[in-house]
Amino acid sequence: MRIPRRTLISGLCATALSLFVGCKKKQPDGSAAGNASGGSEVVIGHYASMTGSTAHFGQDTDRGIRLAFDEANAKGGVLGKKLRVVTLDTRGDSAEAASAVTRLIDVEKVTAVLGEVASSLSLAGGRVAQRRKIPMISPTSTNPKVTEVGDYIFRVCFIDPFQGKVMATFARQNLKFSKVAILKDVKNDYSIGLADAFQKSFTALGGKIVVEQSYSQGDTDFSAQVTAIRGTGAEAIFVPGYYSEVGSIARTADRLGLKVPLLGGDGWDSPDLFKIGGDAINGSYFSDHFAPDLATEQAKQFVAKFTAKYGVAPSGLGALGYEAAEVLVDAIRRAGKDEPSAIRDAIAQTKDFEGVTGKITMDPERNPQKSAVVLKIEGGKAKFETSIAP
């Protein structure tokens, strides 16, 4: 189809003009203050990878969030208003994450944002939320940089250095290992952060890192790395990656006769790990935010409710999604009004909040202080092994 040139140019001008005017009207001081709705509902945005290679992360988190809001609504909502959640898909792409948050704020007029799971995506989305002064709570982004974006960005999970420290302490003190190999994903900030923290803590505790190997996300062949580790006498391999690659690494190690446990972080938390890793992943350990078989009353109730609603047990991601939503609801209640800046202040003052994964108190850096659990994989299931406090 041919469009006459003049029509095209004038059309483009009109579009550009309307965009300009639109922006001008909405945010005279750069903030989206108009988002404190006077209506009968409070709109909360959630941006997550609902499709793509980390689809499991987004879907499980979204289930947890919706469960929390449904419960709050059943009890009459907050401030006499109903809560409504709008979920936008990021497809695991950071450019998509930034535009999703922009759309949530401009089009959906949300009062607060929840998301993302992956740290690199939370960084992209968080920058938008901070600029527009809309509070954001990331359920599971563990990279320290996420909350450093600004004073509107919070999280309800522990941070990477702590997770690396937990596994180092566990390997050295509980498992009594002295020689461990590291196999990290050099394309992933999360993986590098965990590996660094693990190395520091493990050597400080008197252990030795015998070899450090690496791979890149998307690799499928790990035999060279496993072969190199095999000759070093390592008692375990620390693999702080995501579940698909970890599953393959476990199989490769098994095939090449390297029978040592793998250790990892919360990036392992997906049923796909057992599907890909099979028997080879049995006997390995990873740190996580939450263990479904952990025996606190709060956790048991949550698992029962989640399972009743969705027919599957929640992973740590579902639990943290639920917890992030609960912290937000609690903050809106304490703020007494649904204005973004008032909600921000209320979130910052969260103290001893009883969540499903533990007590939450926000520190001045907007990170909660809480303990981690270590899970052991046995027979295709992750079981609670121990809990390690900060």
Q: Which residues bind another protein (CB under 8 A)?
A: 51-53, 55, 186, 213-216, 218-221, 223-225, 227-228, 230-231, 244, 247-248, 251-252, 255-257, 272, 275-276, 278
Instruction: Give the shortest CB-92-to-another protein separation in angstroms.
Output: 9
Minimal distance, residue 208 CB to another protein, in Å: 19
- Smallest separation, CB 50 to another protein (Å): 13
Spatial separation of the C-alpha atoms in residues 16 and 52, rounded to whole Å: 33
CA distances from 224 to 67, 212, 213, 237 (A): 45, 13, 10, 15
The kind and range of the H/E element at 152 are none
Nearer to another protein, 153 or 377 (CB): 377
> Long-range CB contacts (< 8 A, 24+ apart) of 18-26?
26/106
CB of 137 to another protein, least distance (A): 27
Nearer to another protein, 278 or 283 (CB): 278
- C-beta separation of 96 from 86 below 8 A: no
- Cβ 245 to another protein shortest distance, Å: 8
Give whichever of 241 and 358 is closer to another protein, judged by the CB atom: 241
The answer to whether the beta carbons of residues 337 and 346 sit under 8 Å apart is no
3-state secondary structure labels for all residues of 28-58: CCCCCHHHCCCCCEEEEEEEECCCCCCHHHH
DSSP letters for 60-85: HHHHHHHHHHHHHHHTT-BTTBEEEE
Closest CB to another protein among residues 192, 205: 192
Comparison of 91 and 370: residue with beta carbon closer to another protein? 91
Tokens of 131: 């600029």
